[in-house]
Chains A and B, each alone.
Chain A
Amino acid sequence: MASQLSFTGFAWKNLWRRRLRTLLTLWGIGMAIGAFVALVGFSRSFEHEWLRLYSSSGTDIAVVEKAFLNTSVDASLEGKLAAVPVVAQVSPMIFNVIDLTPEVNALVFGWRANSYEFGSLTFQSGQHFEDGKPEVIIGDALATTLNKKVGESLDIQGSTFNVSGIYHGGTALEAGAVIMPLDQLQQLSNLQGKVSGFHVRLRPAPPGEAPDHYLKRAQNEIEAALPGLNAQLASERASNNQFVALAHAVAWGTSSIALLMGVLGIANTMAMSVFERTREIGILRAIGWKSGRIVLLIETEAVVLGFAGGILGLFFGWGSLRLLSMLPQTASIVSSSLDAGHLLKALGLSILSGILAGAYPAWRGSHLSPVEAIRHD
């Protein structure tokens, strides 16, 4: 039985004749796409955890200074904020990232003992801390990492705190965090009388008022009562806070560099392939292939490289995220789950990389004179 030759089969055979080069190129684009999947997945996972942090505690709005992450807001404004009619509960808070050991850093939250935000936590052992005492509660993931139990002490930046409870957090950020009395963290951070901001739970929307409209009105009322401060919706705060923005920027920046290297790798492979096959391209032209079909052949080869590299990259990326989600330094903020949209975007980028990388070699191949190409050694 004679084998049927398809156009894509022909393209694949052209790639496979230089197996090592093709595999190295696949490895390169795979690493680039893997970096994209892992880094952008990491930053999205980070953003997602922030959103869950707000939603699990029931926070509707975060009141912070307009421009800064570690805002320094006067704690005494709490009374004014609580007096705004739409506000049901106010939780003044500080958060920071602190090195607990040379290997482990963690988010540290300062809350009041009566904060509504405790509602999202389930104590596995021990109990709440008390305001004014050097006590902390720690998430179960962090307790495992640090091998700490209730009653043991934890040194934070030269001060010793008693672990009064271990909780299970609703989010990876909480599971890997330390929560201590607000006054203790103010003292530790030299922020007496200051807070990072206020988390606010709103009263239920009046009947007949659309939720979006109500949230907008609440923002306006809070900002009117506290000029100079910014009332951000929890969802906006999750995606706009500067930790997340920085993570996104680093992820996209690094991925872009990796993708550029991947594109150059494919372009180099295709350019070499076209050069080596100059005579063959001349033969194809001689036997009736139009220049457009030559473009299509070379672009198909480049896209096959991009696509196959993309599939490889998805596995690299997923594997990297799995690894990050297991490492103590990153376990608290990385989830290994990937959403379909992100994967499709990665695959789309890999195919686009192939198209871009193949463009010049394809143009060159299609513009070869048949006679000169056939004469080429």
Chain B
Amino acid sequence: MTSPILEVRKLCKSYDEGRIEALRGVDLSITASEYLAISGPSGSGKSTLLQLLGGLDTATTGEVLFQNAALGSVVNLDEYRARQVGFIFQAFYLLPTLTAVENVQVPMLALDLLPSNRAQRAESLLREMGMEHRLNQYPNQLSAGERQRVAIARALANAPSILLADEPTGNLDSSNSARIMEILTGIQKQRGMTLIIITHDNEIASCAPRHIRIRDGRIES
């Protein structure tokens, strides 16, 4: 049996001094190269789960293990985010003062790469996304679909083993949504990455080989 790349044990997360319980004892195991969709209504705790899986936040109780090592204690969260995880957000969150190719280089500034290597790699990733004609455009000069493709290239900049996408098609029309999903699933297959997608869209969720639903901070199925 393949060992899990991520494992969640009795994960609880509460806010506002315990008055709001976003996650209530979640257990989950995700294997390397798995494509997993997580869906659920607003406020169900799915984004909180993604943040904890990505090391953006720490659990109130319980733990998240990356390759059997606990995040935040054994595994340094900054290192984990820099080298193992790529984030894709619904609102893209590109830096407005940087061009597309510069945005993709930003995560690489966290690592000791030569500037020429950074630019080369960013350009190659954007070509892979079909953005070779938009390298030097600023985010406000790009369409929503193009912005998300730049954001995907940025998420891949440091060659992470896990790609975490929080509603990646939430701000896109149907044709752009289909294109983005095609890109994400293609990347997952070609690179053998672990892909975890949070989505409201049942159609998207049902395309994933594994689909779990969250409600009131608990996994339903």
Instruction: Contact check, A288 vs B107: say whether CB atoms are below 8 A apart.
Output: yes
Residues in B whose Cβ lies below 8 Å from that of A279 = 93
Instruction: Contact check, A289 vs B118: say whether CB atoms are below 8 A apart.
Output: no
| B82 adjacent to chain A (CB < 8 Å) | yes
The residue in chain A whose Cβ has the minimal distance to the Cβ of B136 is A3
Q: Map CB proximity to B onto A1-29 as digits: 1 under 8 Å, 0 otherwise.
A: 01111110010011011000000000000
The stretch of B109-117, B191-199, B205-213 that contacts the partner chain: B109-117
Chain B interface residue number, banded: 35 or more
With A2-B136, A3-B101, A289-B82 given, is the CB distance from A370 to B118 under 8 Å?
Answer: no
Report Cα–Cα, A285/B157, bound state, in Å.
15
Instruction: Contact check, B107 vs A287: say whether CB atoms are below 8 A apart.
Output: yes
Instruction: Contact check, A5 vs B56: say whether CB atoms are below 8 A apart.
Output: no
Instruction: Contact check, A4 vs B118: say whether CB atoms are below 8 A apart.
Output: yes
Residues in A whose Cβ lies below 8 Å from that of B101 = 2-3, 5
Residues in A whose Cβ lies below 8 Å from that of B87 = 286-287
Among B57, B82, B122, B136, which residue has its beta carbon within 8 angstroms of that of A371? B57
CB interface residues, B 99-125, toward A, < 8 Å: 99, 101-102, 105-107, 109-111, 115-116, 118-120, 122-123
Most buried by A among B79, B85, B102: B102
Instruction: Contact check, B118 vs A17: say whether CB atoms are below 8 A apart.
Output: no
Residues in A whose Cβ lies below 8 Å from that of B111 = 288
| B83 adjacent to chain A (CB < 8 Å) | yes
Residues in A whose Cβ lies below 8 Å from that of B119 = 2-5
The residue in chain A whose Cβ has the minimal distance to the Cβ of B78 is A290
Residues in A whose Cβ lies below 8 Å from that of B116 = 4
Instruction: Contact check, A283 vs B93: say whether CB atoms are below 8 A apart.
Output: yes
| A149 adjacent to chain B (CB < 8 Å) | no
Instruction: Contact check, A283 vs B95: say whether CB atoms are below 8 A apart.
Output: yes
Residues in A whose Cβ lies below 8 Å from that of B95 = 280, 283
Residues in A whose Cβ lies below 8 Å from that of B122 = 2
B19: shortest Cβ distance to chain A, in Å?
17
Q: Is the interface of A mostly helix, strand, loop or mixed?
A: helix
Instruction: Contact check, B135 vs A2: say whether CB atoms are below 8 A apart.
Output: yes
| A268 adjacent to chain B (CB < 8 Å) | no
A366: shortest Cβ distance to chain B, in Å?
11
| A148 adjacent to chain B (CB < 8 Å) | no
| B147 adjacent to chain A (CB < 8 Å) | no
Instruction: Contact check, B56 vs A290: say whether CB atoms are below 8 A apart.
Output: no
Instruction: Contact check, B136 vs A288: say whether CB atoms are below 8 A apart.
Output: no
Residues in A whose Cβ lies below 8 Å from that of B18 = none
Report Cα–Cα, A4/B136, bound state, in Å.
11
Residues in A whose Cβ lies below 8 Å from that of B83 = 288
Residues in B whose Cβ lies below 8 Å from that of A289 = 78, 82, 107, 109-110
Among B54, B86, B118, which residue has its beta carbon within 8 angstroms of that of A5? B118
Report Cα–Cα, A288/B154, bound state, in Å.
11
A133: shortest Cβ distance to chain B, in Å?
77
| B5 adjacent to chain A (CB < 8 Å) | no
With A280-B95, A371-B57 given, is the CB distance from A4 to B115 under 8 Å?
Answer: yes
Residues in A whose Cβ lies below 8 Å from that of B82 = 287-290
Report Cα–Cα, A13/B96, bound state, in Å.
10
| B148 adjacent to chain A (CB < 8 Å) | no
Q: Map CB proximity to A onto B122-137 as digits: 1 under 8 Å, 0 otherwise.
A: 1100000000000110
Instruction: Contact check, B109 vs A10: say whether CB atoms are below 8 A apart.
Output: yes
A3: shortest Cβ distance to chain B, in Å?
6
Residues in A whose Cβ lies below 8 Å from that of B120 = 2
Report Cα–Cα, A71/B96, bound state, in Å.
68
Residues in A whose Cβ lies below 8 Å from that of B89 = 374
| B33 adjacent to chain A (CB < 8 Å) | no
Q: List 9 A-B contacts (CB under 8 A).
A: A2-B123, A2-B135, A5-B118, A5-B119, A17-B97, A287-B154, A287-B155, A290-B82, A374-B56
Seen from chain A, the residues whose Cβ lies within 8 Å of a Cβ on chain B are 2-7, 10, 13-14, 16-17, 279-280, 283-291, 293, 369-371, 374
- Seed contacts A4-B119, A290-B110, A374-B89; 7 additional CB < 8 Å A-B pairs: A5-B118, A5-B119, A13-B98, A287-B157, A289-B109, A290-B82, A371-B56
- A-B pairs with lowest CB-CB distance, top 7: A288-B82, A2-B123, A5-B105, A290-B78, A287-B107, A5-B102, A2-B101
